[in-house]
Amino acid sequence: MPNKNSDITLSARNLKRHFGDHLVINDVSLELRRGEVLGLLGHNGAGKTTTMQMLTGCLLPNSGEIEICGINLLRQPVKAKANLGYLPEIPPLYRELSVNEYLSFAARLRGIKAPTVADALAQTINNCGLETVGKKIIGTLSKGYQQRVGIAQAIIHSPAVIVLDEPTVGLDPAQIREVRTLIRDLGNIHSVVLSTHLLSEVESVCDRVEIMQQGKLIYSDTSEHMRQHANASGFIVVLHNPPSLATLEAINGISHVEPITSTKFRVLHNPQDNPKSTLLSMAEQQGWKLEQLTPLQATLEDVYVRITSQERKDETDLKETSR
Amino acid sequence: MIRLLALRELRGLFAMPSTWFMLAILQFIFTWFFLNTLQTFLEIQPQLAQLANVPGVTTVVAVPLFNLMALLLMMLVPILTMRMIAEERRNHSFALLLSAPLPIRDIVLGKFFGLLTFLIIMMAGVPLMIYTLALGTSLDHGLILGNLLGLLLLTSSYVSLGLYVSSLTVQPIVAAIGALAVLVGLWLADIASSVEDSHWHFISPVNHFQKFNAGLLDSSDVVFFILFSAVFLMLTIRRINNNRIYG
């Protein structure tokens, strides 16, 4: 890895934030390098949006430090914000302006000099696929285009750090794919933080994942590892002539069998040894009439549960050993 | 930056059909009132001529017109200021300004000057109408300029107060009613108080405008308006900053 410190574009240390007595963000620390896409994963209300508002200076933390490209956001906000692009949950659009007018305004607002605005505008419009709607009034655009205009205003000044709050919400599948490609491309040059509650989004665009729960970062890893977590060890099997549950559970490697209907079962097994082939051959030999065998797709919930239960287990282990 | 933000406000206002409708209606009201008072003046002119100290056309026609404008501004400004901050916060477009590299002072001043410019454009037709009279008679330029200065100062005090109320809430309607309540309240307190030295007279912008309206240019009135505007602009900046602290 190249020089570590100079490449850190965003660093947040020990952020804390409460609304009234309610502690919303509890000791969150983040670091982001150039050319990296970080996914902030969590359910609604986990504190993702609040964290992003603090990272962009829209909300002040009660304690903690934020640095953007080495400039302190709380002490030198104007200088630090020049390196920042932000797309909030709801795109900050002036509905009465045309796309070109709005983006030119956003560019000037972010400190692009008047003579170079046209270049920046043309490039961003091209990047975000807005060529056909440049002269249209924003209020008349579809949700997907409005979202793209929102992304365009965040990247028009080519900032070092781009913060995107749920960038694909409300888009149709084709648009989601386009936006993800766009984010992936952006992530190669800039640093991107994006929040989401979709695991597939993290898988397809992020280099690194932070899972957030109740205002805390509970898990941090590369998305490669995350994917392994996501592959639940189990499958759904349909047998038209099923044996007893005990017979199934006796198969080597199967840890648990749960009947869903009389012919459909959820089979869980140890991650190390997959009993699929054994089950297949036994079904053939003993005439169980196997019809379907689908690997379980883990939901975010499953991954959460696994990670959080892992943490809890570690904690209790620690307590027991300390005794 | 302030100029950029002010221009954006203007562009946003002129992009809405309702703005043009409002401009047309107001121009109609001003013109109708102007022609009406002019006709009255022409009718009573022979009687006026017999008076010892003859009031000129400026006093009879222009002064009531400026007074009417001051009254209309009280109702108009809250409707315009409600959009400035409250509606932007409700539409979530305020995050664009907050995450941009500019101090909050610039955001507030940009909005202030944007709306002030719009109101100047809105009222510009009136002095033009009055100066058409110069074709046939001589006008009291001092009185007209004094009134225009007073009107400008009054407008800026109303706009700054409206901006502050607009920053207190995310409901534009609440912002409009709130600002209207304060402005009308100050005006009513002023006209209801019969005591000469009452504090109500002192804090009421309308009372200070009356002196300009009568052709009296008192530096203390100018200072009052400047202080009034500055205080509310500073309160607005503080309020937006506090919104970031308290969420």
Task: Answer yes or no: do B99 and A81 touch at CB < 8 A.
Answer: yes
Which chain B positions have a beta carbon within 8 Å of A101's beta carbon? 11
Q: Is B102 on the interface with A (CB under 8 A)?
A: yes
Q: Which amino acid would we find at residue A145?
A: Y
3-state secondary structure of A123: helix
Of A53, A59, A92, the CB nearest to B96: A92
Query: A interface mutation test: which of B96, B97, B104, B238 has the most A CBs within 10 A?
Result: B96
Question: Which residues lie closer than 8 Å to A6 by C-beta, 6 or more apart?
Answer: none
Spell out where A149-272 has E strands. Answer: 161-165, 191-196, 208-213, 216-222, 234-239, 254-259, 264-269
A207: its two tokens: 């280099």
* Cβ atoms A162, A155 nearer than 8 A: yes
Q: Report ipTM for this prediction.
A: 0.86
Cα separation, A259 vs A279, in Å, equals 16
Q: Which amino acid would we find at residue A244?
A: S
Cα separation, A25 vs A38, in Å, equals 18
* Predicted local distance difference test score (pLDDT) of residue A239: 85
Q: Does B50 map to a domain?
A: no
Mind listing the pLDDT tens digit of every residue in chain B (247 residues)? 899 999 999 999 998 899 999 999 999 999 999 999 999 988 988 887 787 777 788 888 889 999 999 999 999 999 999 989 999 999 889 999 999 999 999 999 999 999 999 999 999 999 999 999 888 888 888 999 999 999 999 999 999 999 999 999 999 999 999 999 999 999 998 888 877 777 888 888 998 999 999 888 889 999 999 999 999 999 999 999 998 887 6
Counts of helices then strands in chain B (DSSP H, E) = 13, 0
Q: Does B190 map to a domain?
A: yes
Which chain A positions have a beta carbon within 8 Å of B114's beta carbon? none
Residue B59 CB burial class (10 angstroms; 0-12, 13-18, ≥19): middle
Give the β-pairing of A37-41 and A22-33: unpaired
Q: Does B233 map to a domain?
A: yes
Interface of B with A in 40-59 (CB under 8 A): none
Residue ranges of domains in chain A, CATH in brackets: 8-229 (3.40.50.300), 233-295 (3.30.70.100)
Which chain A positions have a beta carbon within 8 Å of B11's beta carbon? 97, 101
Cα atoms in the 13 Å half-sphere on the side-chain side of B25: 8
Count how many domains chain B has.
1
Q: Is B18 on the interface with A (CB under 8 A)?
A: no
* Predicted local distance difference test score (pLDDT) of residue B27: 94
Of A57, A77, A94, the CB nearest to B93: A94
Q: Does B239 map to a domain?
A: yes
* Cβ atoms B179, B162 nearer than 8 A: yes
Domain assignment of residue B239, given as a range? 2-45+55-246
Q: Is B100 on the interface with A (CB under 8 A)?
A: yes
Cα atoms in the 13 Å half-sphere on the side-chain side of B180: 13
Look up tokens 């019969």; give the residue: B194
Mind listing the pLDDT tens digit of every residue in chain A (323 residues)? 344 455 888 999 999 998 888 888 988 998 888 888 999 888 888 889 999 999 998 899 999 999 999 899 999 999 999 999 999 989 999 999 999 999 999 999 998 998 999 999 999 998 888 889 989 999 999 888 898 899 999 999 989 999 999 888 878 888 888 888 888 888 888 899 999 887 778 878 888 888 888 888 887 777 666 666 656 577 888 888 888 888 888 887 787 788 888 888 888 777 677 777 888 888 888 888 888 888 776 666 666 667 766 666 666 666 666 65
Which chain B positions have a beta carbon within 8 Å of A91's beta carbon? 92
Which chain B positions have a beta carbon within 8 Å of A95's beta carbon? 91
A252: its two tokens: 């080597």
Q: What is the DSSP letter of A298?
A: P
Query: A interface mutation test: which of B99, B102, B245 has the most A CBs within 10 A?
Result: B99
* Predicted local distance difference test score (pLDDT) of residue A161: 92
* Predicted local distance difference test score (pLDDT) of residue A4: 46
* Cβ atoms A202, A209 nearer than 8 A: yes
